[in-house]
Structure 1
Amino acid sequence: MTTYINIGNLSGDPRYERRIGLQIQKIRKIGDLKLALEGPLGLPRDRYDVIKMREALLYDEAELITPTVWSTKVVLVIHPCSRPVYDHLKTSETDIVNGDFEDEQRTIMSCGHGIVPETLYDYCWNGLKQGGLEIKCPAIEEFRVRGTQTTCGSLWTLYELTVKAQLSQDERILFEMKLSKNSLMKMEGVQECPFCRSIAVRDNVSNDRVLCINCCNTNPDNAEFCWQCLHPWKTTNTNYCGNLSCSTSKGPKATQEILRTCPSRSIGGHKRTTPIVRACPSCQVLVEHTSGCKQMTCKCQYIFCFICLQPWKQKGVNGGCDYSINCDPAPYQSV
């Protein structure tokens, strides 16, 4: 069965703006999609990539295709067929990334160091993918004692990169998008939604419960997340998210609410149910029982029975609980 999808590229080049019929049931990975587009586009697969518009990132060829890819326009980034060096920019300087192993033509940067245009593109894009706001020369200038070193650190402008890395129109737009995204992520009061990767802003800095506007339209049942830990918001309380590792779970009030409202279940075959979250009797840190028997070892190394909260019976010491005792569950704790 043929399904028609819309494709295009970042710069809106009419040569790539079209509607193409594909048998999408046979296309499982991004690499499969790129292979299927080779014929209709008349381009080898290494000349283009599929972009995640919200993240301003390129799909990896091994990534599985999600329904979102088919439900929206497939946008491509078209790469140049080559990255030649202008005659007046050619240099015999060693490539600052690959060193003497690189025998391709190198371009001279504004700081005086040389680099192969393809290497320049890869280095700059990798820096942006990691959240960088500036692109600086990585050339090692000086080695010091104990292995320390200093680098050139000269700032390269986007205009210089466009010329010397021979960026295509699509690549230039991609770089601008990623720089803007990275800048927004550095701003106070801005977070990336963990579900859809769109930018989320909270109205009140004291409220860690955030509702993603985009997810409200696409997935309303899973649209709230915690500003601190970026995990789904699990409770109806506005003061804590319900994720035990999150900073919103700290503090007496939030801890007490978790202990009071957590569900109960049978542990280790015990007939009566036990709350699945306990406060360690020694250090008061919250501990969640996920599987296994009733013996629990806290991070503070205190060993206790998760059911009755008594210390685990030690050899030669009176009192405590062990596997032979059919203990009664302790009630919900107060801390």
Structure 2
Amino acid sequence: MTEVTQRAQVPDDVDGGSAPPSEPGRRWLTAVPVTVVVLVLAAAPLFLAPFAATTLTRMLVFGLLAVSLDLLVGVTGLPSLGHAAYFGAGAYAAGWVSLHITPAIPVPLLVGAAVGGLAAAATGWVAVRSAGVYFLMLTLAIGEVLAQVAQSWDGVTGGANGLAGIPSASLAGEPLVNVGFLYWYVLVVGLLGFLLVWLLARSPFGAALRGIRDNEPRMRAIGYPTTLYKYGAFVAAGTVAGAAGSLLAAQQRLVTPADLGFTTAAIILLAVVIGGAGSLWGPVLGAAIVVLVRDALGPGLGGHGELLLGIVFVLVVYLLPRGAAGLTTLRPFSRRRS
């Protein structure tokens, strides 16, 4: 008998002393902290200084990017080192539209999401036909190719100098120059993007993706077109990443080739690992930790923020194999049958 079966047969009084909560109880246990977190995030600009509010805005941007990557890494089992390519493609598209057409919400957001999804659709059909380290290397190559395109296409992307002078996003004709207003815009889009990925992961489509992650040959044997499912997940993740890229363009009003290169891709994969792959909310926390260490604490450490980030990563790998999200599943007082 497997260990999983043995755990399932352990009585409730042995494994914690009480029966598990009912379905309505579980919903309340989830809804209450989620509501509190959303309310705290919504009220944050009222109490934070502009720099702190800007840092929190960047956390939300990269949090949405981490959630989109978690759809590949944690739900589908496809670790990618090129996911920043779709993030950067969406950022460039949103910035270009804001510069040359209109910065009015939601036009740059929709364009960024569409371009990220199209870029993923164009490259994903080849990528998802590989697996393991081959998939990892292929996505890395795709990301580097797009980064080189961004660096050499001066007329559209600004070349090595990047796309600068992006105007502020505007709502009803009013530019969101206030840090708090821009934060609320990013927060709303981030919550909607998170909800979309969460619903997708909990749908029958998401269940099939988890089956592919756990045992793709078996899923293929029972009739699932696994390549099409992985392709759909790849395109969906690229679309959400493109939307996150449009938020980056609105927040920092500058897009550079580094935003779609290897460094950004590696950092966001690191955020997923730190937060806990497969949990969705864990990578958001991981992204917040990465931004805090790299952008907020790093300058005060003489430029050694990346070193501190590496130390955090090593500690998480050794002490929290399931990432920060794994802390919620720890039951230190539980007992097992011998």
TM-score grouping bracket, smaller chain normalisation: under 0.3
Larger RCO (CA under 8 A, 6+ residues apart) = 2
TM-score, scaled relative to structure 2: 0.19
Q: Which has the higher strand share?
A: 1
Q: Which has the higher helix share?
A: 2
